[in-house]
Each structure stands twice: as structure tokens, then as C-alpha cells.
Amino acid sequence: MSTEAVRIEGLHKRFDSNEVLRGIDLTVAEHEVICLIGASGSGKSTMLRCINLLEPIDAGRITVLGQEITAQGVDVNAIRRQIGIVFQSFNLFPHMTVMRNVTLAPVKVLKLAASDADSRARELLDRFGLADKADEFPDRLSGGQQQRVAIVRALAMQPDIMLLDEVTSALDPELVAEVLDVIRELAAGGMTMLIATHEMGFARDIASRVCFLDEGVILEDGPPQQIFNDPKEERTRRFLQRIVDAGRL
Amino acid sequence: MSSTGPERYRHQPGDPRPPDGERGSKLLSPLRAEGGKSVAIAVVSTVVFFIVLSLIVVNSPGWAEVKLAFFSRSQFKVSFPEIARAFLVNVKLFLISEVLILAFALVIAVMRSLPGPVFFPIRMLAVIYTDLFRGIPTILVIYLLGFGVPALGIEGIPNSRFFWGVVSLVLVYSAYVAEVYRAGIESVHGSQIAAARSLGLSRGQSMRFVILPQAVRRVIPPLLNDFIGLQKDTVLVSLIGLVEAFRTAGIDSAATFNFTPYVALAVVYVVITVPMTRFVDALVAKDRRRRQAGNAL
């Protein structure tokens, strides 16, 4: 019996007249890895940004580890400490070294002593093969290295849940694998994750469940074998066919 | 990578900042490209040109009077040390004002960037302030504060001219500098704020550790331009009776009916501002190259 990590009920989100999320319902158990697939504009990124409260929602309810985070008057910063997010465009702080990028939030938000934050950061950097990059600035790193640093930066806050928003989409193809390996390691370690991705092979390998988003709703939700081999919905089938035709699956 | 730089400004008459556009010196680079022969031709042509020009000037009717009134060697020798000493007052005005402006303008800029309906009055205050003091000529502010406020005779209000000079310059220049800061703040991409907030940093912490350090770095060249303007505007404080370099030159000039003291002050300014302007231009050019290189990645 696993405990519930995230519960999303009737989530709606619009940008002006454009309704991006039209009623999302999803429950994620602890240690589950959920892959969100679907065309660009189907609402994957918006959904992740809503879970991290980076976007105010228009209707619905999101509960994380038993606490309703969309309720009035919750401590937004406290909730964000439990939820790490990694973005497509890395968003490292360009004026800080890798080390400072990773230790800033632990020191300022968790109030860790600088030496504790430092040793924790070194441990993480070491684990993901970035030990020698600690004193570099982000613009001296490759895209893959930058994205790994961004993942380490999120992990340094010891989140309970990680949200990954198309983290390999801005990378050159030869750099994708090193980032996916990091995510595989996180999954093996039992991290609860929601992953928006276009890497279908990866999703099939790693996901405990795959959700196909289409026009702002989860059209189909199931184990990867079922979604990829025997999709129930016609639109899921057509989406996957396009991926196959493009040689990406 | 974001390529949005600080907001570009439109040049207006009286604006101390130079016009936008290509500002690196292009005087020498064509020569360097063409090699030894063209350098030799340029040297000869320059020498001949200036000899001819000075012969024409020196032999013009009235040159003797001009030389006596503006370039009197003996007057220069007498006035220059006095003016240079008095210039220290301008330097003091400038340094004190600059420190206060950097701090005060940052407060205004941050006030103007506060989000949400609660802070509307604060934002409005910042907007009114910047509009007002960018709209009023500096000399008017100096007159109003320097003559007007001490004339009230209210106890506890200082009547030092130096004090009111600094206050006026800080009020006027902070309005400009606040806008420069604001352009810098707005040039930092929204994804940086998202990244900072997603790590649990508060709005204030994101501003302090993530946004402002990047913003300030980007606006250093326009800030320096404003400070060159400020250096020049310190002479305006002489008009409420503060004895500084311009006033000293005026006193000297009135005593002898000779304009050489003003020329001496001009020399002091040229020696200081021209290298600074060149330095800023070099910074701007370096910044542009760095940004282009960044975009190419």
C-alpha cells in the first residue's frame, strides 16, 4: 500500500482566452514515475508549472503529500521546498559558479550552514560526475552538464517530488543520454517524478505510468506497455504513429 | 539565451548621455587595415592640414584680441591653480552625490518593480517621482531648494549651499539612474525568476541574489554615462552661491575682464571627462561583443 504523493482534481488553467488545461485529474503514488506525453501545446508544461505554483490556477485542487497547496493562505515557499522542478532551458544563474548555484537555496531557504551546504553539494556533484565543474560558471559548461547541474540544484533542496519539464529538448542529441542516465538513477532511488518528455523510448523504459495529454485533458493513462503497444484512444494512436514516422520510437 | 539588453534610450538635447548607435572610435581602424603606406599619407596630410589651419587662424583679423581674451598665458598661470583647487569642491559634490544616487535610485527602481495590487501606491509614488524629476530642469530644482528652502527660515533645516546642492543633484539624477536600473531589472529573463522562486526563495531573496546582480552588471555602461553628466552638472550648484570651480573662474574673470579662467576650467573638464567617455565606450563595445558571442553559442 503506497501513500499518495500528488492528487490533482479538476485542474483548469487559462491564459487569456486560451484554455490550456480543461480539467486534469491525476493521482500519483509515492515512488511512481509518471511520464506526460503529448503534442506541443497539449498542456504538459503548464501542468507541471501549476504543481509548483509557478502558475496560479483557475479552478480545481492540487494536494501534495496530504496538504492542499492550492488552498488560500498556504506558504508558497514552504511548498516549493518539497517540489523540485527542472526546466527545458536549464535556467542556471549565470553570475554564480556551479557551487553557488547549488548551495544558494539550501543556505538562504533551508538556513543550512555554508559548510554543510557545501559538502552536500559536493556529494551530489560527485555522484553525477560534475565534481570537477564546481568552480566553473555555467557558460563554460555544455548543455548536458548545465542540465545536470540544474538537476543537482533542485536535488540539493532534498525535495520529495521532482518535476522535469522537457529537460532534454534543448540539448544536442549526443548530450541527451547523460541527462537521461541521471533521471534513471533518480528513479532507481525511488524519487517520485512527473516527467514531461518527447523521448518516447525513455518514457517506455522508465515510466510506471504514461499519461497522454491532448487539448488540456489526460486522454489516456496507463502502464507504458499498454499506451505504447495497445493504445485505446484513436488520437493516442495517431500521435504515436507520427512519432514512429519521424523515427523517434 | 536571452538577447534582450537594457532598454535603449532615445537621445534628446541636453541629455548627458551620448546618442545611441555605433560609438566605438572608427578614426584609426581604416588605416590599420590598409597598412604602412596609407599611415604615411595620413601623417603627412594631417601635419599639412593643421599647419595650414593654424596659419589661417593666426593671421585672421582679430586673432590678437581672441588670444588675449581666451588664451592669455599669464592669466592661465594665475587662474589654473586656483581653479584646480576649487575643483575639489566639485569632486566632493560629485562623489557624495554619486554614492547617494546609486543607493537611492536602486530603492526607487525596486519600488517600481514591486508586483501586485497592494503595492500600487508605492509603484505610483515611484512613477510620479521619476516623471517629475526627469521633467524639471536641474537648474530649477537647484534654485528652488537652494534659495527657497533656506529662505523659509525653519529651524533645524540646514542652509548650507553645499547640502542643498547635493540634495538637488541626488533628486534629479536618481530619477534617471532609477530608470537605468529598471531597464536592467526588466532585461533579466523571467525564467530566472521562475528558477529562483521554484527553489523556495522568496520574492525579495530572488530580487537580491538573482535579479539585481545580473541587472546591475548589465547597466554599468549607461550608469557611467550618467555620472559623466553628473560631473559636468556640479557647476550648476555655483548658481546658488557655492564657491566651486565655475564660481572661482567667474570671480577671476570678472576681476580682469578676461575669459581665460573659464578656458582653464574647460581644460580641467576635458582632461577628466574625455578619458572617462572613452573608457565607457570601450566597455560598451566589449559588452556588445560578449553578448554577440553569447548568442552565437
Question: Which range is least confidently modeled, A74-78, A104-108, A112-116?
Answer: A74-78
Q: Could you say which DSSP state residue B237 is in?
A: G
Q: Could you say which DSSP state residue B209 is in?
A: I
Using CB atoms and an 8 Å cut-off, which of residues 138-177 of chain A contact chain B? 139, 153-154, 157
Q: Residue B238: how many CB atoms within 10 A of its CB?
A: 22
The chain A residue lying nearest B290, using CA atoms, is A139
The pTM for the full model equals: 0.80
Among residues A63, A47, A67, the alpha carbon closest in space to that of A55 is found at A47
pLDDT at B88: 93
pLDDT of B27 strictly over 90: no
For residues B58 and B199, is the Cβ–Cβ distance under 8 A?
Answer: no
Among residues A161, A158, A151, A154, the alpha carbon closest in space to that of A66 is found at A161
Please tell me which of the candidates B201, B213, B214 has its beta carbon nearest to residue A105.
B201
pLDDT at A197: 92
Please tell me which of the candidates B195, B201, B214 has its beta carbon nearest to residue A108.
B201
For chain B, the residues whose C-beta falls within 8 A of a C-beta of chain A are: 191-192, 194-202, 205, 209-210, 213-214, 217, 294, 297
Is the Cα dihedral B161, B164, B169, B172 positive or negative? negative
Question: Whole-angstrom Cα distance, residue A231 to residue A237?
Answer: 6
The single-letter code of the amino acid at A116 is D
A202, three cell numbers: 525513455
Give the pLDDT confidence of A134-155 residue by residue, as tens digits: 999 999 999 999 999 999 999 9
pLDDT at B291: 67
Average pLDDT over residues B194-210: 94
How many residue contacts between A and B have a Cβ separation below 8 Å? 56
CA neighbours within 13 Å on the CB side: how many for B162? 11
Average pLDDT over residues B14-20: 50
CA neighbours within 13 Å on the CB side: how many for A237? 5
Give the pLDDT confidence of A182-222 residue by residue, as tens digits: 999 999 999 999 999 998 989 998 999 999 999 999 999 99
Q: Residue B165: how many CB atoms within 10 A of its CB?
A: 27
Q: Sort out which chain A residues have CB atoms less than 8 A from B213's CB and list them.
A: 95
Interface check for A54 against chain B (CB to CB < 8 A): the answer is yes
Compare B100 and A170 and report the one with higher pLDDT: B100
pLDDT at B215: 93
Give the pLDDT confidence of B56-95 residue by residue, as tens digits: 998 888 888 888 888 888 888 888 899 999 999 999 999 9
| Mean pLDDT, chain A, whole residue set | 92
pLDDT of B111 strictly over 90: yes
pLDDT at B127: 95
For residues B214 and A94, is the Cβ–Cβ distance under 8 A?
Answer: yes
Among residues B174, B159, B170, B171, the alpha carbon closest in space to that of B240 is found at B159
The single-letter code of the amino acid at A47 is M
Question: Whole-angstrom Cα distance, residue A147 to residue A197?
Answer: 14
pLDDT of B261 strictly over 60: yes
The chain A residue lying nearest B218, using CA atoms, is A95
pLDDT of B232 strictly over 90: yes
Q: Sort out which chain A residues have CB atoms less than 8 A from B214's CB and list them.
A: 93-95
pLDDT at A5: 93
CA distance A120 to chain B (A): 16
Q: pLDDT-based confidence at B293, cuts 50/70/90?
A: low
Q: pLDDT-based confidence at B289, cuts 50/70/90?
A: confident
Percent of chain B with pLDDT over 90: 52
pLDDT at B33: 66
Question: Which range is least confidently modeled, A45-49, A238-242, B18-22?
Answer: B18-22
DSSP string, chain A: -PPEEEEEEEEEEEETTEEEEEEEEEEEETT-EEEEE--TTSSHHHHHHHHTTSS--SEEEEEETTEETTSTT--HHHHHHHEEEE-TT----TTS-HHHHHHHHHHHTS---HHHHHHHHHHHHHHTT-GGGTTS-GGGS-HHHHHHHHHHHHHTT--SEEEEESTTTTS-HHHHHHHHHHHHHHHHTT-EEEEE-S-HHHHHHH-SEEEEEETTEEEEEE-HHHHHHS-SSHHHHHHHHHHHHTT--
The chain B residue lying nearest A52, using CA atoms, is B198
Residue with cell 575643483: B87
pLDDT of B17 strictly over 60: no
For residues A224 and A210, is the Cβ–Cβ distance under 8 A?
Answer: yes
Question: Which range is least confidently modeled, A193-197, B109-113, B150-154?
Answer: B150-154
Among residues A111, A114, A105, the alpha carbon closest in space to that of A85 is found at A105
pLDDT at A138: 93
Rounded to whole angstroms, what are the CA distances from B137 to A104, B173, B179, B232?
A: 44, 11, 17, 14
pLDDT at B287: 76
pLDDT at B15: 52
pLDDT at B159: 83
pLDDT at A2: 63
